[in-house]
Structure 1
Amino acid sequence: MFLASILSLILYVVLSVFAIVPARGKAKTKLLKWTGVMFLLLFIFGVMLDYLVLLPLTAINILFANIVMAALGLILIYLIMIANTSVGTKRKNKNTTDTSEEGFGVNKRFGILAIVFLVILILAVPTTLIVNISALGSTYKSIPKKAEEEAKPMDKEETPITVSPEFARNKIQKSMSSVPNTQFYDLGKLQVQKVGEDIVYIAPVEFTGFWKWIRGKETEGYFRISATNVNAQPQFVEKKMSYTNSSYLNKYVDRRIYASYPFHIQIGEPQLEVDEHGKPWYVQTIYRPIGLSNKPDMKNMYAAVVNPVTGMVKKYRVEDAPAFINGTISSELASDENMYFGKYVHGWLNSVFGKRDVKIPNESGTETHVTPIFNEDGDMLYFTDMASPKKNIDSALGYTLINARTGELTYYNGKKNNGIMDSKGAKEIVNKEFPEKKWRGSMPILYNIDGNSTWVVNVLDPNGLFKKYAYIKADDADFVVFGDNAKETLEAYRLQLAQDPGNVEATGGSNLKSREGTVSRLLVTNQKNGQAVQFILKGDKTIYTVSAGAEPLAIFMEKGDKVKFKANIRDNSIGLVEEIKISGLTD
């Protein structure tokens, strides 16, 4: 743990010997005594610095720790040498002896030391920059990644939206009075997690300061609230925890991890996750850097899991961690992974000058620029849309989903949906819709709904309270559906899609079903892309929609016509007709 300090002190001894050897008699004795005192003080300072800063023991960190300690040691040695010379000068002045030569010797020796130190510093800074820059390509190559043109359409049973963390935090803050000794605590970092079949936010209560920690010693537990139901209320779970993010000294979670794995770099703040029995655990992503750099090898990532009661730490490969942990890859690392993937596809030089194929991650995410979501298999993924490095272009180049347990990155390049707006544009649409109320868009997520790229956005008031959902067609800023309920808004959006002739090919992955019968009611509607006919059959309450673009003669249908067609029928009694035969018109 104190390796950096020990190496620095070895350097200090070398500097001290260089200063002391030329001295003679009592002057050498005094120098030895004072350098010993300074050595002890410097050792104490180094140990305290290691303890407080928790500097990972990597090659670059140790180098710069030694440079700092060398600079401090150099100053102390000079002060000792000058003080010793001053004492000698006063004594010799009584005997009218000239000491200018001795003072010149001190300055000369110190000048040599200063030049050596300056040379080391001049060499160290560019060397570390070059080492880190050269490792960027290796980090990019180490990312487990794949590319796809388009995400598969959302399942018809799936309701995509989750409650925004701002809204969840707001509701939990109002329930803090349920915490014993609530004056000691504040709300910690929210972490979304799947517990059983429920997707929930977990938020620990944390100490508000050092003296509150001294008084309380243990935190009282954590809050749990649904991440999919805006009407759910937070539940406080009493679980005493001694080792937390807000504890001090050896009870600090980061320090426990550092003590066990000082050669690993921690990234992000440890997050609280709970197992199937409701027991909390702190989880932190750690890694050993590539070569002499501080850059991560994305194929060799680890999770440090801390028991908050005993302080016991255990390390796992991210994919081998206990099954209850959804996020062995932290949101901070996922954000960095997006940056490595987007900027350094052709190396550092290209990211600065040519910028060929460079993609910049947007910063609209809810957790360190990424947004956690869950797929149909229950896996947590981090979502981020990618934009062009060129300014004043608000279209998305694609988006990434990073598996929160393995770090695997899937890039959806959007080739089938060129020209879709990015997350910033989606939020702006919501912001402009309610200017007088100052409602704003939050947590934009891009979904493939029935073959259409769609932004799903939470609408919040200035206090972070949920107001509405917004479904925005990503390639059409005017196609927006607002609603109060996630499922109902989704179905209303699908109905709008079904009525839009431009979406006649949007099958949503459902099988086409054959239908025939007699038209009992019909309505011709004008759409911006043309006309559409909505009709129902006798004995069938399903509303069928056929676009005039798919069958121009459909606008001449009348009540009583016999029809035979194939349609994509949804569970909300809406059918999108793709092939139709109308008796007397098309046959």
Structure 2
Amino acid sequence: MKKMITRLFLVLWFLLMAASYWVFLPALNPLDTGFWFFVVEGLILAFVGIFVVALADSVGQQTKKPNVGRRDVSQTKGPYDQVLIRLGGTILLIVALLFGLGFFNSRIFRAKSYANVITVKEADFNKDFPETNISTLALLDRASAEKIGDTYLGTIDKVSQFGISDDYRQITIGEQPYRVSPLEYKNFWKWLSNRQEGISYYVKVNQTTGKAELVRLAESMKYSDSEYLFRDTLRYLRFKYPFTIFGDPSFEVDDEGNPYYVATVYKPKFMLTSKDPSGVILLNAATGETKEYDLEDIPEWVDRVFSANNVITRVDDYYTYQDGFWNTVFSQTGVKKTTDSYNYISIGSDIYLYTGITSATADSSNLGFILVNMRTREVTNYKLASATESAAMASAEGEVQEKKYKATAPTLAKLNDKAYYIVSLKDDAGLVKSYAVVDAEDYQQVTVNNDIETLISQFTDSDTSVLSGSGQAAGTDQDVEVIKGVVDQLASQMISGSTVYYISSSGKIYKVKATEETIDQLPFLKVGDQFSGELTKNNYLKNFKIIE
């Protein structure tokens, strides 16, 4: 009987530990706190099992020896007592060590170490911050992208079998900002019916133009977050890399549109605490092929290696603990912090996180802006006295207070060498109804317009037609119609602060908007001149040229 109970508890212990590992998937790495929690869990289950076996054995001995007094039995040490004492001691020792390591490696004792994890390059906003490329201006936030993307679900086959994941991760494809999200199985039964075929689509939403596309893959995804067994991305990677510490995989696509999951690899900075990225694992969602990269070897198409939480935490540590922990408690000399809002902007082919930096006691003013490359974590502080993002949002809402619109997190832009916040204003249904441009240095100066192209054109000489979809976004390869002709009649007028030339040729009227990119000879265009240009929406011509 005793052996049967022991074996039963051994089997039960193994099944519980296997189930726990299947669900929580801890790294089998002593540098990971999750590993030690898993060990403690196993020891506690063993303690409980041995205690129950010992109790059953004690009851059995009392049944066989009814004449033994209660005092004698209580004073007799059973064969399990030493094992229980050692198990209990081991559990307490591990918990105490985890607590002690966490405490003595905290910011109280290692403030300077935390402050020196990153370095920050100092720069001047007016001189060094790049001028915003209108064609890559990310206007749509995640919620708006999700609403647009969800409307395309009805265009796929087997629409009842799939939904769209709520990931909508911001990346760049070429140099254009997109939010991408894969389809997912709606439930277990839908997965059971379709798992052999896999997932054939993902959604991408252009954050500049607001246009969405349901992309059909040449090879279906067999590995995703909505899988239930061994092809679940986290479980698949855990069994392939059992000793590696990594985070939850996130969906991205490369510049050719191939689907991948990116899992950031971590190592603790201080003993078991303060994990920091050290590389990535790339999982091809179609083939299941994986490869681990160090930070310096990561492919350039990967946009998001560092999480927003990691970036904000490191920047806060840098500006908070330069003079030690106790300075933050008492005098707070030189203590700065990030503001309570952040957003992403695209510069070239990279995604950058930006947020304001303010003093510890400030309320609505920034000392500058932090710009962080999300692939390399290169941090630059651009000095500029300005309003906080929250103050800009409140100011934008105040301009349309009668409509009760709510402002989204603003986008930082540099237009004609000046800093602005671009804010989307939404109604109660979450739909964008208007836009506001807020002067970052004087947030009481707010301009509101329902048409984003007209609004932005008031602050820059750059071509803004791409914002309404009439122009061609950077990095696209769409076919364009080239127009050639002779000027029959010519006129011009001012529209939203910009000069627009109207050219009548062969019975048709074409328009050319004067920007910094248009040719210098445009103002001298006359009847009889030959011209060429690329036709866009509403008969506007881009890349306008006068043919000699």
Report the TM-score when normalising by structure 1. Answer: 0.70
- Which residue, 102, 117, 125 being the options, matches 1:142? 117
Q: Distance in 1 between matches of 2:117 and 2:292?
A: 21
Structure 2: distance between partners of 1:62 and 1:438: 50
1:374 and 2:346 are equivalent in the alignment: yes
Matched, 1:457 2:454: no
Cα displacement (A) at 1:119 = 5.3
Structure 2: which amino acid aligns with 1:204?
Answer: P
Q: Find the residue that maps to 2:390 and give its secondary structure.
A: helix
Report SS of the residue matched to 2:341: coil
Deviations 1:470-518 (A, max 9, x none): 11112323201112344432232469xxxxxxxxxxxxxxxxxxxxxxx
Contact 2:184 2:199 in 1 (8 A): yes
Aligned counterpart, 1:128: 102
Q: Secondary structure at the match of 2:288?
A: coil
Q: 1:291 to 1:187 in 2, by over 3 A?
A: same
Alpha-carbon spacing, 1:221–1:572, altered in 2? closer, same or farther (3 Å): closer
Report how far residue 354 of structure 1 moved: 4.9
Q: For 1:58-69, list aligned pairs within 5 A.
A: 58-59=30-31, 60-69=33-42
Distance 1:44 1:33 in 2: 17
Within 5 Å, give how 1:258-269 maps onto structure 2: 258-267=238-247, 269=248
2:448 is equivalent to residue 477 of structure 1? no
Q: Which amino acid aligns with 2:61?
A: G
Most deviating of 451-460 and 352-361 = 352-361
Please give the alpha-carbon distance, in whole angstroms, between the structure 2 residues aligned to 1:332 and 1:246. 24
CA distance in 2 between partners of 1:161 and 1:61 (Å)? 37
Counterpart residue identity of residue 470, structure 1: A
Amino acid at match of 2:274: K
- The 1:357–1:58 alpha-carbon spacing in structure 2 relative to 1, beyond 3 Å, is farther
Q: Supply the distance in 2 between the matched residues of 1:106 and 1:156 (Cα, whole angstroms).
A: 78
Structure-2 residue corresponding to 1:445:
411
**Match in the other structure for 1:405:** 375
Task: Output the CA distance in 1 between the equivalents of 2:423 and 2:152.
Answer: 26
Q: Aligned pair 1:467/2:433, yes or no? A: yes
Over 3 Å counting, the alpha-carbon distance change for 1:206 and 1:452 in structure 2 is: same
After the TM superposition, which residues 527-538 of structure 1 pair with which residues of structure 2 at under 5 Å, given as runs? Answer: none
**Residue 492 of structure 1 corresponds to which residue in structure 2?**
458
Deviations 1:372-400 (A, max 9, x none): 2112x33321112234444x712223221
Residue identity opposite 2:364 in structure 1: D
SS at match of 2:251: strand
Secondary structure of 2:436 counterpart: strand
| Equivalent-residue separation in structure 2 for 1:156 and 1:165 (angstroms) | 21
Tell me, in whole angstroms, the C-alpha distance in 2 between the residues paired with 1:115 and 1:270.
Answer: 37
Residue 20 of structure 2: aligned partner: 49
Question: Are the equivalent residues in 1 in contact too, given 2:261–2:283 (CA < 8 A)?
Answer: yes
Name the Cα RMSD after superposition: 3.4
Pairing of 1:141-220 with structure 2 (within 5 A): 141-150=116-125, 152=128, 155=131, 158=134, 160-188=137-165, 189-217=167-195, 218-220=198-200
CA contact (8 A) 2:122 2:380 kept: yes
Aligned residues: 460
Corresponding residue for residue 559 of structure 1: none
Residue 284 of structure 1: how far off its partner (Å): 2.1
Task: Report the CA distance shift for 1:222/1:337 in structure 2 as closer, same or farther (over 3 A).
Answer: farther
1:326 pairs, out of 298, 303, 314, with 303
Q: Say if 2:315 is the partner of 1:338.
A: yes
CA–CA distance in structure 1, aligned partners of residues 450 and 349 of structure 2? 25
- Within 5 Å, give how 1:228-377 maps onto structure 2: 228-230=208-210, 232-238=211-217, 240-267=220-247, 269-297=248-276, 301-352=278-329, 354-365=331-342, 371-375=343-347, 377=348
**Unaligned 5+ residue runs, structure 2?**
462-491, 498-513, 519-548
Percentage of matched positions with identical amino acids: 22
Identify the range of structure 1 (239-248 vs 52-61) with the bigger mean alpha-carbon deviation: 52-61
Residue of structure 2 aligned with 1:422, choices 384, 388, 400: 388
- Whole-angstrom CA distance in 2 between matches of 1:572 and 1:388: 40
Indicate how the Cα distance of structure 1 residues 452 and 156 shifts in structure 2: closer, same or farther if over 3 A, else same: closer
Give the secondary structure class of the aligned counterpart of 1:290: strand
Structure with the bigger percentage of helix? 1
Shift of 1:243: 0.6
What SS is found at the alignment partner of 1:163? coil
CA offset at residue 352 of structure 1? 4.9
Question: Which of the numbers 102, 109, 115 marks the counterpart of 2:73?
Answer: 102
Q: 1:323 to 1:127 in 2, by over 3 A?
A: closer
SS at 1:296's partner residue?
Answer: strand
Contact 2:344-2:411 at 8 Å conserved across structures: no
Change beyond 3 A, Cα 1:207–1:132: farther
**Separation in 2, partners of 1:358, 1:62:** 36
The structural deviation recorded for 1:204 is 0.9
Aligned-pair distance for 1:86?
0.9
The AA in structure 2 aligned to 1:283 is V
Report deviation, 1:198. Answer: 3.2
Structure 2 counterpart SS, 1:142: coil
Question: Runs of 5+ in structure 1 lacking a partner?
Answer: 1-28, 366-370, 496-539, 546-568, 574-587
User: Residues 448 and 454 of structure 1 are in contact (CA less than 8 Å); yes or no, is this contact kept in structure 2?
Assistant: yes
Structure 1 counterpart of 2:456, which letter? L
* Highest RCO, 1 vs 2 (Cα 8 Å, sep ≥ 6): 2
CA shift for structure 1 position 251: 0.8
Give the letter aligned to residue 305 of structure 1.
Answer: L
